[in-house]
Structure 1
Amino acid sequence: MHGVVGRSAALTENETAASTRVMLLLLVAMTGVAPISLYMLVPALPVLAKNFASDVSIAQMTVSLYMVGIACSQIVMGPLSDRFGRRPVLLAGLGLMVVASAACIFAHSLPQLIAARFFQALGGATGMVVSRAIIRDLYRRERISSMISLVIAVMMIAQMLSPLTGGLLETAFGWRSIFYVATAMSLAVAVAITLALPETRRVRLSSSSFRGDVRNLLTSRAFIGYMLCQVLASQIVFTFAGAGPYIVVTHMGRTGAEYGAWFATTGFAYLIGNLFCVRFSPRYQLERLIWFGLALQLLGSLLNLVWGVAGINQLPAWLFGTQMIVMFANAFVMSNSAAGAISVRPEAAGTASGAMGFLQMGLGSFLSQFGAYLGGHFTTPLPLNIAVFALSLACVSTMVFIIPRGKTIVSEELIERAEEESGIV
């Protein structure tokens, strides 16, 4: 009898572990399908400009309007997933991406391709916003940041490989082959979600409408503070990425390939930061991890500013060495503040995730341009160092002046009670 019980327990544990792995793969796939499709096309931009006899700046719109599509998707699909459920909104978004990706294959002009890319992003980015809501549906507040970090860590590996994949596809089969792969990839994700993803939307405690969700979120100091902390931390990445090529290639006289290698070090630091966050998030309170990240982020940006004032960060090793500290800390700030934002009102997690993603991408488009201005109009990295330090200070300010002291009120217990009363296990 004990042996049977032992085998049954082991079987249950194995089934749970297997379902967790499946869910992780689904979350990574739905989160990564849009950004991977974005970066796969980047190596083919010069070829697009040549094939369509257009300027490179016009071809660049296949990337810039794609980012606009991602921003628009976040603010629309998040609230829809709160109202109609995660599964139908995900499947509708991925269905749109499949159709738009196929339209990219048959585009006969650059305007047609740009329009199809916008709708490709509008549909594909559904996974980015809904995945955060699903994580909030499935896990308690203490585990959310570790799951977000784990998804980001796995997804980043795929993103790092996507430009190489796109370049190889374009060289071997032509630029249209990139969209054949994107169509197949989005279709495979849609099929996987259809077969393996259950509906995870939580029981709503009231018949609150979209307007009610927005009003409740916007009147919550905790939500505003966590959201601003996450968004401002993400702008450090956009600003540095916008200025980096001009500083390294134009002012430091290095090659584009060398810049790419140095920039990869910051991505690697961010990846390692997420892996550390996965390990430590279940052990420590969310606020303590945010403060740890903020302190280290501020220290790294201050060191970078000191090197700039002293004039010794004219070499990539000094500039990127301290930026790696910033990016390692940035992983703690972003994942944990995102977890805090979507936990304030769990039944409106989609709306919260959408608002956060929209601001992140919307401000990012401006801050990347601002970074390019700083890198292109000044002969030293000092203005960029000042901007990164100012953003780090702004992140700290949200925690000090906006987020209430003490335990943030989250309706976790009320939700669990409602689930019990509704018969949900």
Structure 2
Amino acid sequence: MRAGIGRAQLLLLGGIAALGSLATQIIVPALPLVAQGLVISAADGQLIITVYLVGLALGQLVGAPLADRYGRRPVILGGLTVFAAGTLACGAAGSLAVMLAGRAVQSLGAATALVTARAMATDRAPKGSAAAPLALMSSVTLISPTVAPTIGGALTSIGGWQAPFWLLLALSIAAIALAPLLGETRPGDRLPIGPARLARTYFQVVRKGRYLPLALSNALITGGMYVYLAVSPFLLRAAGASPAQAGLYYSVVASAMIAGTLAVPRVMARWPGRLGSIGAAALGSGAVLVMAVAATGGNLVALLAAMMLIAFGSGMTGPALMAQALERQRDNASAAISLFGMTQMGGAALFSTATVRLVPSPSLKLALIGVLVLLALALRRYASRGS
């Protein structure tokens, strides 16, 4: 039996995986200033998030087979290098086209590093013990959405909208320097990667059991969160909030998501079998409240309370959704994880972009957050009845 990799290496892998979400969250407080600096509309500014999410989604489908063929270490180093190059382009961008190109490159590098880091964490774990290293990785990764908005807001206030990108560049260079310490956990198998083989594998994943409705449910919840991230910066700016204040606002919501995740073991120990219903109650309550906020004028305190409920429920139910979706995917576990992540990020990009582009009223945009969450709960209920 192979021994798992060390705690320090797992923490480093968690930090590498966190770069993907950090590059999303740290930019959000700066979006109004980015739009102003590049002389673009708020809707065009949303593309800075959307393009990144699309790349993060599609990159996960490609990153896993690359790591299988060429080995973990060269692929994670390659992903980090691509991420750094894209980040440099973003920080130096003088137009929307350059910014979007940089974000696309950045996201593909982040996705490749993310899926490879997860694989490295579990390659040497004893059979049936993969949850432990992944949990330790998550303890690092979950810090990112909590501190990123606050850091991004503070950096933007001090150094302008480019400052968050320079921090991301410094972190990616540090990760590249430290990554060789990880060593190789699985040499490449050198088997050919073809579209037909990939399509066949992913088709096998989708057609099994309750995978698709559960993956779509997770995507709808994430989509609701990203609609909030797309709309709220401009609501906060209109209310007179500075980028630093906006960052604190987002950090409170992110903290609620972490609280939901950390509550999972306690809930499972104290109320076995009730995790899903408690999480659904938080999600449903938040969805109803956010629609009430939309109908009554968009009070920011009430909106914060609604999003905290949704974030708490998302943190509590997210791991359960993935676990249920992977129940019958033992033969294609890596493909199932990649496709789950792709559906999550792709759905978030689709829902947030469609909302910003097609829905004219800020109140209706907020109401759609609640609609997406309620649809997610309905899909999960359908999947549970079909089990």
Tell me if TM exceeds 0.5: yes
Distance 1:343 1:25, change over 3 A: farther
Of 105-114 and 121-130, the range deviating more from structure 2: 105-114
SS of the counterpart of 2:274? helix
> Normalising by structure 2, what TM-score?
0.76
Match of 2:380 in 1: 395
- The answer to whether residue 281 in structure 2 is matched with residue 295 in structure 1 is no
- The answer to whether residue 319 in structure 2 is matched with residue 338 in structure 1 is no
> Normalising by structure 1, what TM-score?
0.70
Q: What letter corresponds to residue 399 of structure 1 in structure 2?
A: S
Q: What letter corresponds to residue 360 of structure 1 in structure 2?
A: Q
Match of 2:259 in 1: 272
Q: Please report how far the alpha carbon of residue 362 of structure 1 lies from its aligned counterpart in structure 2 after TM superposition.
A: 1.2
Name the larger-Rg structure. Answer: 1
| Aligned equivalents of 2:168, 2:287: Cα separation in 1 | 41
Q: Please report how far the alpha carbon of residue 122 of structure 1 lies from its aligned counterpart in structure 2 after TM superposition.
A: 1.1
Match of 1:357 in 2: 341
Q: What letter corresponds to residue 81 of structure 2 in structure 1?
A: G
Match of 1:232 in 2: 217
Contact residue 233 and residue 392 of structure 1 kept, 8 A: no
SS of the counterpart of 1:198? coil
- The answer to whether residue 59 in structure 2 is matched with residue 63 in structure 1 is no
Provide the identity percentage.
22
| Aligned equivalents of 1:24, 1:33: Cα separation in 2 | 15
Match of 2:350 in 1: 366
SS of the counterpart of 1:199? coil
SS of the counterpart of 1:125? helix
Contact residue 51 and residue 103 of structure 2 kept, 8 A: yes
Distance 1:374 1:98, change over 3 A: closer
Match of 2:112 in 1: 126
| Aligned equivalents of 2:160, 2:362: Cα separation in 1 | 37
Contact residue 11 and residue 136 of structure 2 kept, 8 A: no
Distance 1:222 1:29, change over 3 A: farther
Distance 1:223 1:328, change over 3 A: farther
| Aligned equivalents of 2:251, 2:163: Cα separation in 1 | 26
| Aligned equivalents of 1:387, 1:368: Cα separation in 2 | 11
| Aligned equivalents of 1:310, 1:153: Cα separation in 2 | 34
Instruction: Flag structure 1 segments of 5+ consecutive residues without an equivalent.
Output: 1-15, 404-425
Match of 1:26 in 2: 12
Q: Please report how far the alpha carbon of residue 228 of structure 1 lies from its aligned counterpart in structure 2 after TM superposition.
A: 3.9
| Aligned equivalents of 2:311, 2:193: Cα separation in 1 | 38
Instruction: Flag structure 2 segments of 5+ consecutive residues without an equivalent.
Output: none
Q: Please report how far the alpha carbon of residue 271 of structure 1 lies from its aligned counterpart in structure 2 after TM superposition.
A: 0.3
Of 220-229 and 55-64, the range deviating more from structure 2: 220-229
Q: Please report how far the alpha carbon of residue 67 of structure 1 lies from its aligned counterpart in structure 2 after TM superposition.
A: 1.9
Distance 1:274 1:376, change over 3 A: same
- The answer to whether residue 97 in structure 2 is matched with residue 115 in structure 1 is no
Match of 1:13 in 2: none
Aligned pairs, number: 379
SS of the counterpart of 1:87? helix
Contact residue 280 and residue 377 of structure 2 kept, 8 A: yes
The two structures, once aligned, show a CA RMSD in angstroms of 4.4
Deviations 1:165-185 (A, max 9, x none): 233334444444433322221
Deviations 1:363-389 (A, max 9, x none): 112222466677937579776545422
Deviations 1:392-423 (A, max 9, x none): 1211322332x5xxxxxxxxxxxxxxxxxxxx
Q: Please report how far the alpha carbon of residue 144 of structure 1 lies from its aligned counterpart in structure 2 after TM superposition.
A: 4.4
Distance 1:240 1:371, change over 3 A: farther
| Aligned equivalents of 1:175, 1:262: Cα separation in 2 | 18
Distance 1:92 1:135, change over 3 A: same
